Structure 1
Amino acid sequence: MNDLQQLQERIETGGVVVGIYGLGYVGLPLALRFTEAGIKVIGFDIDESKVNALNAGQSYIERLTPDLIASARAKGFEATNDFARSTEADALIVCVPTPLDHHREPDLSYVLATVEAILPHFRAGHLLSLESTTWPGTTDEELAPRLQACGFVPGRNCALVFSPEREDPGNPTYATHNIPKVIGGMTPSCLQLGKALYEHAIETMVPVSSTRVAEMSKLLENIHRAVNIGLVNEMKIVADKMDINIHEVIRAAATKPFGFVPYTPGPGLGGHCIPIDPFYLTWKAREYGINTRFIELAGEINHYMPHWVVQKVADALNERCKSIKGSRILILGLAYKKNIDDTRESPAVEIMSLLEAKGAQIDYSDPHVPSFPRKRDYHFELSSVPLSPERIRGYDCLLIATDHDDFDYELLSEHAGLIVDTRGRMKESEKVVIA
């Protein structure tokens, strides 16, 4: 029995050990799901604070409660920053960030650094799966050659697959186990092994013909949303100039039972996927002499939205004989969407930076984000401000950046002097400006 046949047997019998690299919003839910399904999981992360928290039964992601961590620990889950323990696992799943660099080009440094850290401990019979969103060709152009340089040939003595994550934090209907999962393999045998592995944890698998198809499918999903959000954001700007409430327009259009999918405008794009993924394709497309003008235009519109919001704040304050400089402004909601604690690429943070640069005194309130998190490009020494009538009255402007259900909108409306609402949560009035 060769190495891949032995791996197949371990997968089929449930004796496979899974290593997950990157214990963030993608990797940790996947680790807990495999553990729940009875699979032994070792979690790897370079952040020692995360490793220590998990091994102490603590959670740093709001929706993943300490009870879930404790249950996983009782079933054998453990976290480590010792990559030498990769030899203990049979399947290695990479779930690390793929951001943009300062030139808005793909930054694969986290993926490649992780793979380079794994390679000294890689062995025949290992399965390597990449889940991080990236450009079509990454798996066969970047990962496969690194394996082959060490004597590992996908489909012969190891397996290599790409299976993009589809996490949607805060979604009450879909979670890791019941979101259909796309997967592509370097060879048919790689695909077979990868599919069999994930079937332990995921209800529905969607096999495709290659890793490139799987990589492109993830980009299409998020570019579809980015383009449509860009469209509705542009419509918002036009409607505002015509003194039309875009949210009323969307509600009316959404009554059509076919041919229309409602997208809602906002202060900009947030989350790790939609603001970033389109640029992975536009960058790769240039290699083929293609200018993806439609995608890039949507990106320009969405990137402009925080500036649009700041101008709406300036106009609203100006109507009250005030300027941004010296005004006290409270940002309501730091997360990139409502009812979660995820602040990655949140437009609220960009808005805070723009307002502060214009001289505003900034605070924020977010029941899901108690203190401002560490970020590469932004830093505020701030903690979430509790809301009370007296505190609300002390601000010149409240800016609804994220419409959490936990906010008491009646309290805000009663005591605020000015509210700029970027989410259409409140009715327009003398004190409420829809931005």
Structure 2
Amino acid sequence: MMPRVEELERRLSGGDALVGIVGLGYVGLPLALAALRAGFSVLGFDTNPERVAALNRGEGAFHHIPGDALAEAARAGTFAATGDMARLAEPDAILICVPTPLTRHREPDLGFVVASARAVAASLRPGQLVVLESTTYPGTTDEVVRPLLEAGGLRVGAEIFLAYSPEREDPGNAAFSTAQIPKVVGADDPASRRLAAALYGALTVATVPVSSAACAEAVKLTENIFRAVNIALVNELKLVYDAMGIDVWEVIEAAATKPFGFMPFYPGPGLGGHCIPIDPFYLAWKAREFEVPARFIELAGEVNTRMPAHVVERLAAAVDRTGRPFSGSRILLLGLAYKRNIDDTRESPALRLMRLIEARGATCLYHDPLVPVLPPTREYASLAGRRSTPLDAGTLRAADAVLIATDHDGVDYALVAAEARLVVDTRNAMARRGLSGPTILKA
């Protein structure tokens, strides 16, 4: 091994290196916390000046990510955030944690990855390790990132090092922090793989080396496709069993008592978050290059995409049965985040529900204790700035129906049951709390 590799490996495995993290969002910040707790110093990079300033003031960015540890590290000088990409020459390891959305035509949008790789390349120096964490299709690290890094003459595996390690965050899951989740590591040369394993071995419970970056990219997509397909299955079962007068929630809970051969997944109003609604389409798109159909993936996407429309149909029918036409009615949407107990609205099905409700002539308000103001989103820019309505008896009585889209724990569901004229529950939130009655329906 070259002395440069051995020295860098020693610093990475011992926590003596400076770690740079590009993208201080839902993936980058937990990773920064894990690195700080492992003894590393962290320099964070973000293009949002407000976020950079807030983090340097010691303010947390997200509800489920504690800001006190970052604040303490900022005061101690072991953490700083910056928008100055020229400082990318400073870290020993640079971890790219930027979004990978879809275009309007459901094709991969690698704009953030490409911009980040170009910024890294502009300041790249010998002896740096670069790791892509953004979820993407197999081949991205080698076909997209590597040429950008090598454009200046430095060679991967010799002067610089490149790996892929997929993020495995589950926002709001207190049982598994970043450091408690094994980290898959893949690279196309032994030195890069060894260095990436040394870094993640120092800040996570275990590493899982695989033979290539493409294999590691495929691991992440497989994990998310597994969830997407199984959620589509239970969403379809919900439709089938509902037509038969059978409660799918009761079926799943009973089936889950089998100690082998069954894993419970639960239906809902549609998929949300940056991973499950998006990542399967990355593989389906890449599969077309090899003329291989990805029928399960595409069918699952169709089923899950239809769920918001199904929910609104159920809601409209329920309101119509009360004697008031849905057009002109007042709907209170309960929960705007894409999953319980977090403030993340990315790809939230609640946004699609809001638009569909208003397209049918109803007024739609929302209450979410974790989303006081609806942030800007790419697809629902016109909804930005709306504010959460207080959840009180007056608000509930004024609504023609309450639609539970996200089942946050910090909600008074007993008050909802007592005061709402009609409740349409997509998450089984009421039944789980022993609340039932003729005005509480499941969708």
TM interval, shorter chain, is over 0.9
Structure 1 SS opposite 2:47:
coil
- Any conservation in 2 of the 1:26–1:165 contact (CA below 8 Å)? yes
- Any conservation in 1 of the 2:118–2:149 contact (CA below 8 Å)? no
> Partner residue of 2:440?
432
**Alpha-carbon distance between aligned partners in 1 of 2:120 and 2:417, rounded to the nearest angstrom:** 54
> Partner residue of 1:39?
40
**Alpha-carbon distance between aligned partners in 2 of 1:323 and 1:101, rounded to the nearest angstrom:** 37
**Alpha-carbon distance between aligned partners in 2 of 1:103 and 1:152, rounded to the nearest angstrom:** 36
Choose the corresponding residue for 2:113, options 91, 111, 114.
111
**Alpha-carbon distance between aligned partners in 2 of 1:36 and 1:227, rounded to the nearest angstrom:** 36
> Partner residue of 2:372?
370
**Alpha-carbon distance between aligned partners in 1 of 2:4 and 2:370, rounded to the nearest angstrom:** 47
1:234, CA displacement in angstroms? 0.2
> Partner residue of 1:22?
23
> Partner residue of 2:258?
256
1:73, CA displacement in angstroms? 1.0
**Alpha-carbon distance between aligned partners in 1 of 2:325 and 2:139, rounded to the nearest angstrom:** 50
**Alpha-carbon distance between aligned partners in 1 of 2:11 and 2:173, rounded to the nearest angstrom:** 33
Choose the corresponding residue for 1:407, options 411, 434, 438.
411
> Partner residue of 2:74?
73
1:393, CA displacement in angstroms? 0.5
**What's the C-alpha RMSD, in Å, of the aligned pairs?**
1.2
- Any conservation in 2 of the 1:389–1:415 contact (CA below 8 Å)? yes
**Alpha-carbon distance between aligned partners in 1 of 2:397 and 2:177, rounded to the nearest angstrom:** 40
**Alpha-carbon distance between aligned partners in 1 of 2:150 and 2:112, rounded to the nearest angstrom:** 20
1:110, CA displacement in angstroms? 0.5
**Alpha-carbon distance between aligned partners in 2 of 1:413 and 1:11, rounded to the nearest angstrom:** 55
**Alpha-carbon distance between aligned partners in 1 of 2:419 and 2:277, rounded to the nearest angstrom:** 35
**Alpha-carbon distance between aligned partners in 1 of 2:295 and 2:372, rounded to the nearest angstrom:** 40
1:376, CA displacement in angstroms? 1.0
Q: Structure 1 residues 73-82 or 18-27, which shifts more? A: 73-82
Encode CA deviations 1:337-371: one digit per residue, 9 max, x unaligned. Answer: 11111111110111001111112111111111111
Aligned partner letter, 1:5: E
Choose the corresponding residue for 2:151, options 133, 149, 154.
149
> Partner residue of 2:424?
420
**Alpha-carbon distance between aligned partners in 2 of 1:263 and 1:14, rounded to the nearest angstrom:** 39
**Alpha-carbon distance between aligned partners in 2 of 1:228 and 1:208, rounded to the nearest angstrom:** 26
- Any conservation in 1 of the 2:117–2:149 contact (CA below 8 Å)? no
Aligned partner letter, 1:422: T
> Partner residue of 1:231?
233
1:65, CA displacement in angstroms? 2.8
> Partner residue of 1:91?
93
Structure 2 SS opposite 1:426:
helix
Aligned partner letter, 2:211: S
**Alpha-carbon distance between aligned partners in 2 of 1:324 and 1:129, rounded to the nearest angstrom:** 51
Structure 1 SS opposite 2:202:
coil
Encode CA deviations 1:14-68: one digit per residue, 9 max, x unaligned. Answer: 3211110000000011112111221111000000010000001111201223312
Does residue 1:269 correspond to 2:299, yes or no?
Answer: no
> Partner residue of 1:56?
57
Aligned partner letter, 1:409: Y
> Partner residue of 1:203?
205
- Any conservation in 2 of the 1:328–1:397 contact (CA below 8 Å)? yes
**Alpha-carbon distance between aligned partners in 2 of 1:65 and 1:146, rounded to the nearest angstrom:** 35
- Any conservation in 1 of the 2:15–2:38 contact (CA below 8 Å)? no
1:13, CA displacement in angstroms? 4.1
1:2, CA displacement in angstroms? 4.4
- Any conservation in 2 of the 1:22–1:94 contact (CA below 8 Å)? yes
**Alpha-carbon distance between aligned partners in 2 of 1:434 and 1:420, rounded to the nearest angstrom:** 6
Structure 2 SS opposite 1:186:
coil
**Alpha-carbon distance between aligned partners in 1 of 2:175 and 2:162, rounded to the nearest angstrom:** 31
- Any conservation in 1 of the 2:423–2:441 contact (CA below 8 Å)? yes
1:385, CA displacement in angstroms? 1.4
- Any conservation in 2 of the 1:154–1:186 contact (CA below 8 Å)? no
Aligned partner letter, 1:10: R
- Any conservation in 2 of the 1:4–1:158 contact (CA below 8 Å)? no
Encode CA deviations 1:170-206: one digit per residue, 9 max, x unaligned. Answer: 1121010110110101201100001101122111111
1:243, CA displacement in angstroms? 1.5
> Partner residue of 2:394?
390
Does residue 1:193 correspond to 2:201, yes or no?
Answer: no
- Any conservation in 2 of the 1:161–1:185 contact (CA below 8 Å)? yes
Encode CA deviations 1:108-137: one digit per residue, 9 max, x unaligned. Answer: 000001111121101111110000000000
1:324, CA displacement in angstroms? 2.4
Number of matched residues?
435
Question: Taking structure 2 as the reference length, what is the TM-score of the superposition?
Answer: 0.96
- Any conservation in 1 of the 2:14–2:202 contact (CA below 8 Å)? no
Counterpart mapping for 1:159-174 below 5 A? 159-174=161-176
**Alpha-carbon distance between aligned partners in 1 of 2:365 and 2:334, rounded to the nearest angstrom:** 9
Question: Taking structure 1 as the reference length, what is the TM-score of the superposition?
Answer: 0.98
Question: 5+ residue gaps in structure 1?
Answer: none
Structure 1 SS opposite 2:396:
helix
1:158, CA displacement in angstroms? 0.8
Aligned partner letter, 1:369: V
1:151, CA displacement in angstroms? 1.1
> Partner residue of 1:130?
132
Aligned partner letter, 2:243: K
Aligned partner letter, 2:412: D
Identical-residue share of aligned pairs (%): 53
